[in-house]
């Protein structure tokens, strides 16, 4: 259960690491004890704070080990803040899915009065012809019923149920449910993933989780494993819609959902041709929650990604500091500092060095590292 507890805590703590799967693997592999209760989880966190935790590490991963320790401390604090009821709900993904399903129904019926909750299926294998796919969750609509005889609804693979994450994915699937009911004969494609993210990962998620948890879920959702290229399809199609969301607000999302996949394809044709005007909608001021969506979309990037070593050192870099001073303040060797500074200057010009390489002449590290969740390290 260690991984389950840590995953719940991770969604409540701003991620400094890029990839949640890698972080959890690392955090679990450094401990040989059993964790099947909150007391045993306390013993795990105590171990992480001990000197032995650092000593056990290979010198190559000493920086990741230090950063992971700090992130685990933050996760421990977040877990302590969760009520017993919330924690036990999160430990039961099926129950959690039913709970968010009801919250979503109340919210959606205000915008789409004909909305009803879809069937929810928990299966060991997805129905054919999707049975060799490994999706955590997928929506089967009426078109699939006509073509393959599969009962419509949202399907979850039992083996892939995860705390918090499964309920969050369910909210995304509801976008496919709504569009599938309106346009069952058309396949989900392109911007549909973006609309489902805006609806599920933000609009509905804001009603089920705190704004900071929504942001963490979004940032980690598409960076769970190493296959970021696959998820870039989802992330790209969400970003494409950002200008329309900023201009028209949430009514834009429901305008598309009411219009079905045909409307979505019209919008796709329009925006890729440079037309960002929807004559049927009035422009609105940017609301706080739309602003939060936009800043999460900006934070969700592969640009500001550093090695653990460069991330570790970046936090101590200030203009005018010498290489030797940095080595002292970071408590590491000068060679590691030099390589970290090389990365920071080459990756995206975060620092400049005096020509002899011994003094930092300019640095943006302090400012950028303080922007939560923007710069992240890879494990
Ligand atoms: Zn989807």
Structure tokens at 35: 């964790």
Taking the centre of ligand 1 as the mean of its atom positions, its distance from the CA of residue 164, in whole angstroms, is 17
pLDDT, averaged across the chain:
92
Taking the centre of ligand 1 as the mean of its atom positions, its distance from the CA of residue 195, in whole angstroms, is 9
pLDDT tens per residue, range 174-221: 999 999 998 877 776 789 999 999 999 999 999 999 999 999 999 998
Taking the centre of ligand 1 as the mean of its atom positions, its distance from the CA of residue 172, in whole angstroms, is 6
Sequence-distant (6+) residues with CB within 8 A of 144 are 150, 152
Overall average pLDDT of the 25-41 stretch: 94
Grade residue 226 by pLDDT with cuts at 50, 70 and 90: low
Taking the centre of ligand 1 as the mean of its atom positions, its distance from the CA of residue 146, in whole angstroms, is 20
Taking the centre of ligand 1 as the mean of its atom positions, its distance from the CA of residue 173, in whole angstroms, is 6
228 has a pLDDT exceeding 70:
no
Taking the centre of ligand 1 as the mean of its atom positions, its distance from the CA of residue 97, in whole angstroms, is 16
Taking the centre of ligand 1 as the mean of its atom positions, its distance from the CA of residue 96, in whole angstroms, is 20
Taking the centre of ligand 1 as the mean of its atom positions, its distance from the CA of residue 135, in whole angstroms, is 10
pLDDT of residue 348: 77
pLDDT of residue 363: 93
pLDDT tens per residue, range 75-120: 999 999 999 999 999 999 999 999 999 999 999 999 999 999 999 9
Q: Which residue has the higher pLDDT, 259 or 229?
A: 259
- Residue 214 has φ and ψ, to the nearest 5°, of -60, -45
Taking the centre of ligand 1 as the mean of its atom positions, its distance from the CA of residue 372, in whole angstroms, is 27
Taking the centre of ligand 1 as the mean of its atom positions, its distance from the CA of residue 194, in whole angstroms, is 8
pLDDT of residue 358: 94
User: Whole-prediction pTM value?
Assistant: 0.93
Residue 116 — left, alpha, or beta (φ > 0 → left; ψ -120 to 50 → alpha)? beta
Taking the centre of ligand 1 as the mean of its atom positions, its distance from the CA of residue 184, in whole angstroms, is 15
277 has a pLDDT exceeding 80:
yes
Peptide bond into 129 cis (omega under 30): yes
Taking the centre of ligand 1 as the mean of its atom positions, its distance from the CA of residue 262, in whole angstroms, is 17
Taking the centre of ligand 1 as the mean of its atom positions, its distance from the CA of residue 260, in whole angstroms, is 15
Angle between helices 323-330 and 334-348 (to 10 degrees): 110
The DSSP call for residue 126 is P
Overall average pLDDT of the 230-256 stretch: 95
Taking the centre of ligand 1 as the mean of its atom positions, its distance from the CA of residue 167, in whole angstroms, is 14
Residue 164 — left, alpha, or beta (φ > 0 → left; ψ -120 to 50 → alpha)? left
Taking the centre of ligand 1 as the mean of its atom positions, its distance from the CA of residue 32, in whole angstroms, is 37
pLDDT of residue 131: 82
Looking at CATH, the fold of the domain delimited by 304-378 is given as: Arc Repressor Mutant, subunit A (1.10.10)
Reference 365, options 327, 317, 308, 298; nearest CA is 317
Residue 154 — left, alpha, or beta (φ > 0 → left; ψ -120 to 50 → alpha)? beta
Taking the centre of ligand 1 as the mean of its atom positions, its distance from the CA of residue 187, in whole angstroms, is 11
Taking the centre of ligand 1 as the mean of its atom positions, its distance from the CA of residue 189, in whole angstroms, is 9
Share of the chain above pLDDT 70, in %: 98
Taking the centre of ligand 1 as the mean of its atom positions, its distance from the CA of residue 61, in whole angstroms, is 36
Taking the centre of ligand 1 as the mean of its atom positions, its distance from the CA of residue 355, in whole angstroms, is 50
227 has a pLDDT exceeding 80:
no
- Residue 320 has φ and ψ, to the nearest 5°, of 95, -15
pLDDT tens per residue, range 314-353: 999 999 999 999 999 999 999 999 999 999 998 778 899 9
pLDDT tens per residue, range 121-160: 999 998 888 888 778 888 888 888 888 888 999 999 999 9
224 has a pLDDT exceeding 90:
no
pLDDT of residue 76: 97
Taking the centre of ligand 1 as the mean of its atom positions, its distance from the CA of residue 73, in whole angstroms, is 33
Chain-centre distance of CA 152, in angstroms?
A: 28
Taking the centre of ligand 1 as the mean of its atom positions, its distance from the CA of residue 169, in whole angstroms, is 9
The residue ranges of every structural domain in the chain are: 2-86, 92-299, 304-378
Structure tokens at 265: 């394809």
225 has a pLDDT exceeding 90:
no
């Amino acid at each position: 259960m260690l991984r389950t507890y840590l995953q719940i805590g991770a969604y409540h703590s701003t991620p400094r690491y890029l990839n949640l799967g890698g972080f959890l693997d690392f955090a679990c592999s450094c401990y040989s004890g059993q964790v099947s209760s909150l007391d045993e989880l306390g013993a795990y966190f105590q171990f992480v704070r001990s000197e032995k935790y650092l000593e056990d590490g290979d010198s190559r991963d000493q920086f990741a080990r230090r950063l992971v320790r700090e992130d685990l401390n933050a996760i421990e604090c977040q877990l302590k803040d969760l009520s017993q009821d919330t924690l036990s709900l999160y430990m039961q993904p099926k129950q959690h899915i039913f709970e968010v399903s009801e919250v979503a129904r109340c919210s959606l019926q205000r915008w789409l009065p004909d909305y009803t909750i879809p069937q929810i299926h928990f299966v060991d294998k997805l129905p054919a012809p999707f049975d060799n796919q490994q999706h955590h969750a997928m929506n089967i609509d009426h078109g699939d019923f006509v073509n393959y005889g599969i009962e419509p609804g949202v399907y979850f693979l039992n083996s892939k149920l995860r705390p918090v994450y499964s309920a969050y994915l369910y909210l995304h699937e509801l976008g496919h449910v709504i569009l599938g009911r309106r346009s069952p004969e058309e396949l989900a494609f392109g911007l549909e993933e973006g609309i489902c993210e805006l609806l599920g990962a933000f609009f509905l998620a804001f009603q089920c989780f705190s704004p900071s948890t929504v942001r963490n879920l979004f940032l980690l959702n598409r960076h769970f494993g190493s296959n970021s290229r696959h998820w870039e399809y989802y992330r790209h199609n969400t970003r494409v819609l950002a200008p329309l969301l900023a201009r028209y607000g949430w009514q834009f999302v429901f305008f598309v959902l009411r219009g079905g996949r045909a409307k979505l394809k019209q919008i796709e044709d329009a925006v890729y041709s440079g037309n960002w005007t929807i004559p049927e909608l009035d422009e609105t001021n940017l609301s706080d929650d739309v602003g939060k969506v936009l800043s999460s979309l900006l934070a969700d990037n592969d640009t500001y990604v550093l090695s653990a070593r460069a991330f570790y050192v970046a936090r101590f870099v200030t203009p005018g500091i010498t290489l030797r001073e940095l080595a002292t303040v970071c408590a590491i060797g000068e060679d590691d500092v030099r390589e970290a500074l090389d990365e920071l200057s080459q990756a995206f010009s975060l620092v400049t060095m005096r020509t002899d390489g011994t003094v930092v002449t300019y640095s943006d590290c302090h400012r950028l590292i303080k922007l939560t969740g923007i710069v992240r390290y890879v494990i």
